[in-house]
Structures are given as C-alpha cells and as structure tokens.
Amino acid sequence: MPELPELEALRIRLGPRLEGRLITAATVNPKKGHMLRYPVENFANELPARRIVSLTRRGKHLVFATELGGGGSGRWLVINPMLGGRFQMADGAAPVPATEVFTIRVEGRQELRYLDFRDMGRIYWVGDLDREVPGWAELGPEADSVPAMGIDAFRKRLRRFRDELKDLLRNQEFLAGIGNAYSDEILFEARLLPLRRRASLKPAEEEALFAAIPLVLSRAVEAILANPNYEESKQDRSFMSVHMKGGKTCPRCGHRISQLGSNREPLNFCRGCQL
C-alpha cells in the first residue's frame, strides 16, 4: 500500500508535470468502473476542459484540485490507492496495462493512469472534501508535521490513545499517512516493540518515537527520489530495515528479524533491540 513517503515522492515528481495543465480527455475502464464513488459517465464527461490547479497529499490520499476555465467551479479528484493502487505517467502512445482503472490525458499528449491490481482503491470526484470523502474530517495531523507540533503537543496527543503502538501509528485519527510498512520502520528506529501498549511508554521512549517518525518518513522520501530506476507504477522498498524482512538479520544488532501475521500485512520487528 502506498503510504506517506511514496505519495509524497509521487506528488513531488508529478506536480510539475500536471499543475496548470488542461485535461483534454478522460476514460474509464468499463471492467473497473465500479471502483469510482461517482457515476462513470459523469466522471468521464466532467473532467475534460478542467485545469489541474494543484496536486497535494492528505494522509494516504492524492488530491487533484481542478477548476473550469476562468476559475470557480472547483472540484477535487481524491484517490486513496489502498493495497493495490499505483500511478503511471506515460506518453499517450504507450500500451495501457490491463490493471488500468482510468486515464486522464493532459496537454502535451501525456497521460496519467491509475492502475489497481487488487481493485481496492477508493476514487472520489467531489465538490466538498469534508462531506463527500469518508473519514476526511476525522484525519489527524500529517505525520510529517510532527516536528512543527513540538514534543509537548505530541505527548498530549499521544496520551489520548490507548492502542498498541503498531495500531496507534496506523490510526489515521492519530496521525495521517502511516500504514503497515512505515509503522514497522518507525518502531524499529525508536527501538520499541510494536505490541506494547501506549500507556507503557516512559517519557524518554515518547521522545524516541517523536524523533523517529519524521526521521523515517523523510529518509524514505529521499531514498525514493534518489532512485533513478524508481517507477511510480511499482513499489521498491528495498531500503527498509525490517519490514518484509522476517527471518533475515537485523542490521543493527544481528538478531533474527521476527514476523507475525500474513505476508499480505506482516508485522516485522527485532526482538533483540526493540524493547
């Protein structure tokens, strides 16, 4: 599942190629039209002639703000890729993958394609984000905004929740943007066991978590952007320390990395240096 770092890197890469561009056509794969939370015919007819004003990210959503010529009539295309969603920016002549859900063509004969090999993504075409995107109004602060929050405000927010640490980090009402993969990495960086309860944290451990969240996320964005072979339609997380590396050697202490759960959503951690 693309999380904050993948979507932030995608925003950085795609923004300059899409912002200010006029949408000239939109098509929907008839076999996957059920994934749109909006009538397919309206979606395909309403996007053309709109201009993409901005590309932003909110939690694990990409948000395309659009308006008609002359301003006004703002609408948003909001995409939560979930487990199998990917994006592809390609020349209009490039073959369209079978996993394509919809394609937006912009000036310059470039196409933005949304692909989904699990048919789980959530796609909204809305005029009011808070009212029309489920859960939008309940999203917590962006996970990469933790440093600006400050340790005192972070502690106050942290202590509102009682979850186990793994579930806490994945709770979008706590912080928006972290999922299964980066919660593993953050807890590894903070040297905290994922199954510990939030209430068990000592002040020094709260500080370690506060520091680990922005460090892991920023480092991941940098790794993705620095990879010259990175493809938006794929997901390379080889730079990670423990996630999806059950049975391998911990890069910090040499202990064997543990895995709980299925390969679909594993929980990975090191019993040697996470306490």
Residue 124 forms beta bridges with which residues?
A: 78
Q: Is the pLDDT of residue 264 over 90?
A: no
pLDDT digit string (tens) for 68-83?
976 668 999 999 999 8
What pLDDT, on the 0 to 100 scale, is given for residue 139? 98
User: Is the pLDDT score of 121 beyond 90?
Assistant: yes
Residue range 91-106, pLDDT digits in tens = 988 999 999 999 999 9
Taking residues 34-61, report their average pLDDT: 94
Give the pLDDT band (50/70/90) at residue 110.
very high
Collapsing DSSP to helix, strand or coil, 58 comes out as strand
What pLDDT shows up at residue 251?
98
Q: What token pair was written down for 138?
A: 């309940």
- The pLDDT of residue 213 is 98
- List pLDDT tens digits, range 179-202: 999 999 999 999 999 999 999 999
- Mean pLDDT confidence for 128-153: 97
- Reported confidence tier of residue 167, pLDDT bands at 50, 70, 90: very high
Contact 21, 53 (CB under 8 A): no
C-alpha to C-alpha distances, 164 to 17, 158, 193, nearest whole angstrom: 41, 12, 9
- Mean of pLDDT values over 126-139: 96
Bridge partners (DSSP) of residue 106 are 23, 110
**Whole-model pTM?**
0.95
> How high is the mean pLDDT of the chain?
95
The pLDDT of residue 69 is 77
pLDDT at 70: 67
Q: Is the pLDDT of residue 265 over 90?
A: no
Mean pLDDT of all residues in 162-177: 97
Q: Which structure tokens are listed for 238?
A: 């080889």
User: Does 56 score more than 80 pLDDT?
Assistant: yes
Mean pLDDT of 116-134: 95
pLDDT band at 263 (very low <50, low <70, confident <90, very high): confident
Q: How far apart are CA 152 and CA 156, in angstroms?
A: 6
Q: What is the model's pLDDT at position 262?
A: 81
Mean pLDDT, residues 204-218 taken together: 98
In the predicted model, what is the mean pLDDT of residues 157-168?
Answer: 96
**pLDDT over 90 (residue 231):** no
CA–CA separation, 31 vs 39, rounded Å?
Answer: 14
Q: Distance of alpha carbon 154 from its chain centroid, rounded?
A: 21
Domains of the chain, start order: 4-138 (3.20.190.10), 143-270 (1.10.8.50)
